[in-house]
A and B are shown apart, each in its own frame.
Chain A
Amino acid sequence: MSHAEPATAPTQGPAALLEVRGLTKSFGDTPVLRGVDLTVRRGEVLAIIGPSGSGKTTLLRCLNGLETPSGGTIAVVGGLAVDFAQRPSESVRGLLRDRSAMVFQHYNLFPHKTVLENVIEGPVIVQRRPRQEVVAEARSLLERVGLAEKADAYPSALSGGQQQRVGIVRALALRPQLLLFDEPTSSLDPELVGDVLGLMRDLAREGWTMVVVTHELPFAREVANEVVFVDQGVVAERGTPEQVLRHPQQERTRRFVDRLLHPM
């Protein structure tokens, strides 16, 4: 697993980790992404918001090869650049993936493995790091999210909030350069959302680079460095949380934000 260090910082702001240009994706004849540009900067949190069906989850899944874009490029600073004009091989998609880790809406923990086994599977089996070292690291990560005593439990014995925290620990244990979150709190009971968002806020403060697809606008406002509003497969508006969430320029952004903040 080679994690090339990004090149030195460009002219302004923190170094870009990922440059997405003109990304398109169609499912059959249905265009889902219609030319998206995105820059993910090292140590920053990028929040992707937008109505359901807007393509925001597809966009996120293109970043780690879970979906193969139909066109456009993704460049990882420090080397790899993938042009999707030709369909990339699985190994090329693998290179994109190996820099990131993802937290799923439905957790997707392995039900036949204990919490600890879920966490160490990638580092030990795929990355071939020494088991003892990985176990120690996994235990301290679990400790940190308050689940030390659940290490030997199976996922079915955990609440949704606990499962999602394990999902986050499983992602962290891979030591990725980039953390991707796909609506990480959307399947949680309301009273469990706070735990997960709190953990994500801490990760952001520690300087993890994160791309978060979310409906939690207060979270985006507090934690994100940049907010991107995706609608009908394009970035309709982007800027600081202040700009996009408080003073949206576009009518459709305003309507979306209003509806989420004032549902009744």
Chain B
Amino acid sequence: MSGADWELARESLWPIVSGAVTGTIPLALASFVGGMVIAVAVALMRLSRRRWVARLGAVYVSVIRGTPLLVQLFVVFYGLPSVGILIDPWPSAAIAFSLNVGGYAAEIVRAAILSVPQGQWEAGWVIGMSRRRTLSRIIVPQAARVSVPPLSNTFISLVKDTSLASLILVTELFRRAQEIAAFSQEFMLLYLEAALVYWVICLALAAGQSRLETRLERHVAR
């Protein structure tokens, strides 16, 4: 690499990182929180004893998993205005990503709840608890532990998927890199730099995941 390349790499780093801090990371966090709310609701629907409720949850998961994220994003941002619903780029992206994460995480939450042995439900019943209370005090704390690794995966995927938001004009990490690349014509350099920043973010997340797992596993015999 020439001196000029280094110079460009150095000068573009801050705009890219600030794109991560003000765009990518808040968007991923908001979408994950929204997605988890949807996921828990859909998982409970799928576990419902009312058949049509369970069916509705299954259809949601099927639609979300069966259509591309990019298409979902475009439906929200470019599609909804034609039926009179106009949403700004950032909230559009947050809504689309939440809906998407909700579909995938619902299956994780459902599997985690099912992984808790039936005997735990029975023990809750025997000490006088309702289903709802057994779920919240006995089942969910145990399911949470099981779901940390797969949910971490989902979150890490989400962080990278937010780069799609650049296509609906959200200013985030990747869009910053694109802008500088278009201006300087140094595509290889800028896109590798963007990749590097994504990687560093994901390394930090993976480290966070290990710490969380250790914390949650402390009482469990292996």
| Chain B proximity of A255: nearest CB distance (Å) | 32
| Chain A proximity of B128: nearest CB distance (Å) | 4
Taking a contact as CB atoms under 8 Å apart, the answer to whether B120 and A104 are in contact is: no
Taking a contact as CB atoms under 8 Å apart, the answer to whether B138 and A110 are in contact is: yes
Question: What number of A residues sit within 8 Å (CB to CB) of B?
Answer: 28
Question: What number of B residues sit within 8 Å (CB to CB) of A?
Answer: 21
Taking a contact as CB atoms under 8 Å apart, the answer to whether B141 and A97 are in contact is: no
Taking a contact as CB atoms under 8 Å apart, the answer to whether B123 and A109 are in contact is: yes
A188 to B141, CA, bound (A): 27
Stretch at the interface among A119-127, A193-201, A256-264: A119-127
Taking a contact as CB atoms under 8 Å apart, the answer to whether B220 and A156 are in contact is: yes
Given contacts A111-B219, A112-B141, contact A66 B123 (CB under 8 A): no
Taking a contact as CB atoms under 8 Å apart, the answer to whether A111 and B119 are in contact is: no
> Is B122 interfacial (CB-CB < 8 Å)?
yes
Taking a contact as CB atoms under 8 Å apart, the answer to whether A125 and B137 are in contact is: yes
> Is A211 interfacial (CB-CB < 8 Å)?
no
Nearest neighbor of B123 in chain A, beta-carbon distance:
A108
User: Chain A contacts of B219 at CB under 8 A?
Assistant: 111-112, 154, 156
Taking a contact as CB atoms under 8 Å apart, the answer to whether A97 and B126 are in contact is: yes
A125 to B137, CA, bound (A): 10
> Is B204 interfacial (CB-CB < 8 Å)?
no
User: Chain B contacts of A111 at CB under 8 A?
Assistant: 142, 219-220
A121 to B136, CA, bound (A): 13
User: Chain B contacts of A94 at CB under 8 A?
Assistant: 128, 130
A94 to B133, CA, bound (A): 14
Contact of A98 among B120, B128, B137 (CB under 8 A): B128
> Is A169 interfacial (CB-CB < 8 Å)?
no
Taking a contact as CB atoms under 8 Å apart, the answer to whether B138 and A101 are in contact is: no
User: Chain B contacts of A171 at CB under 8 A?
Assistant: 126
Further 20 A-B residue pairs, CB within 8 A, beyond A110-B120, A122-B129: A66-B125, A94-B130, A97-B125, A97-B126, A101-B126, A104-B122, A106-B119, A108-B117, A108-B119, A108-B123, A109-B123, A121-B127, A125-B133, A126-B129, A126-B133, A127-B128, A156-B219, A156-B221, A171-B126, A174-B127
10 contacts between A and B (CB under 8 A): A65-B125, A66-B122, A66-B125, A66-B126, A97-B128, A101-B126, A104-B119, A104-B126, A108-B122, A154-B219
